[in-house]
Amino acid sequence: MTVQLEDVTVHFGRTCALEGFDLSVAAGETVALLGPSGSGKSTALKAVAGFVRPTRGRIRLGGNDVTDLPPARRGIGVVVQQYALFPHLRVADNVAFGLRAARKPRAEVARRVGEMLEMVGMTAYGRRFPRELSGGQQQRVAIARALAIQPSVLLLDEPLAALDAQLRADMLGELQKLRREVPDIAIVYVTHDQSEALALADRIAVMRDARLVDIAPAAELYAAPPSAFTASFLGGANLLPVSVDDGEVKVAGTVIPGLKPAEGKNLLCIRPHAIRLEAPGAAGLAGRVVGAQWRGAVNQVTCVVDGLADVVVRVDVPADRRVPELGAGVVMVLPGGACSLVPVGVG
């Protein structure tokens, strides 16, 4: 079922949590709302769920206006960060809750609960209480409960935020599996974690200060970010001011070969892994190393560029390559194919 937010604005007193927000999520599509804390992601999700009432705008599900319907009558599955299982109900009864509320026959409830627990790998835990489960297991039960009512829309609000790294990776795999097993469901996934958004979403909607900044297929947004904000939020791109001279793009006076100028776009965007460090004398941006941090698979090296004040360039050097000494002169090689241009000050 299609989810549509049309020009939705939400005010809490004098706080504007969401401003003129438009989004359409198709059946079978997963859209991630990605943005820093306080950017309005949860508010957008709650407006769809019916937990907050828009000050302006409409919410449609499958084409029907549900703006005035209470949450329970929207037929949506919702999973929030803190699981919110009923503590006094056993796992199986938690999963059965929505089915019983909808007065489904006992046999159907039992069958559906069995299917859901199997799908999330929790068949053996039906008799347990939530407090007898780990965080990851509770989260699986929460997902089973949300899906038990066979919703055509699933809303996930930071569902992995409370889990540790290993569990988060496992659950990410579970969610990918879920998308394959319930192919027609429309999923809206709120996260501030770009790796979750990249792993799960067909499209990513980047948010900032109550507004939508950019929306595009995940790969496209990553490869060619339309704005400086998205470039740095998604993948921590470097942004370097450029000048255009004689049809050539230059950074600090050095020509970037293979990069064509574009009207109104005067920041060069390049990912830290795409830059190569060479010894002084090579063709590229001359500068020096000002910092290095070991991150396991890579060393994250920071450099300054000669002639560019206030700009620090982050370079990921694979762990098997030598890291230049702190203070050493280096040349940063920026392959034109890995560079794109973005406008200053969008978003």
Residues 231-260 that bind ligand ADP (CB under 6 A): none
Burial class for 244, CB neighbours closer than 10 Å (0-12, 13-18, 19+): middle
How far is the C-alpha of 119 from the C-alpha of 174, rounded, in Å? 9
**Region near ligand ADP per CB under 6 A, out of 10-18, 111-119, 245-253, 280-288:** 10-18
| 7: alpha, beta or left? (left if phi > 0; alpha if psi -120 to 50) | left
Tokens 């003129």 — which residue? 20
Q: How far is the CB of 250 from ligand ADP (least distance, A)?
A: 38
Tokens 């970037």 — which residue? 256
- In the complex with ligand ADP, the residue whose CB is nearer, 11 or 90, is 11
3-state helix, strand, coil in the chain (%, to 5): 30, 35, 40
Q: Does 98 bind ligand ADP (CB under 6 A)?
A: no
- For residue 279, give every residue at least 6 positions away whose Cβ sits within 8 Å of its Cβ, in sequence order, or none: 330, 331
Query: Alpha helices, DSSP H only, in 50-159?
Result: 91-101, 106-119, 135-148
How far is the C-alpha of 131 from the C-alpha of 146, rounded, in Å? 19
Q: 128 has which bridge partners?
A: none
Instruction: Find the binder of ligand ADP among 1, 3, 5, 17 (CB under 6 A).
Output: 17
Tokens of 41: 């992601």
- Binding string, residues 297-316; x marks residues near ligand ADP by CB under 6 A: --------------------
- In the complex with ligand ADP, the residue whose CB is nearer, 12 or 86, is 12
Q: How far is the CB of 149 from ligand ADP (least distance, A)?
A: 25
- Binding string, residues 24-43; x marks residues near ligand ADP by CB under 6 A: -----------x-xxxxxxx
- In the complex with ligand ADP, the residue whose CB is nearer, 24 or 81, is 81
Q: How far is the CB of 13 from ligand ADP (least distance, A)?
A: 6
**Region near ligand ADP per CB under 6 A, out of 12-20, 175-183, 257-265, 303-311:** 12-20
Q: Which residues bind ligand ADP (CB under 6 A)?
A: 12, 15, 17, 35, 37-43
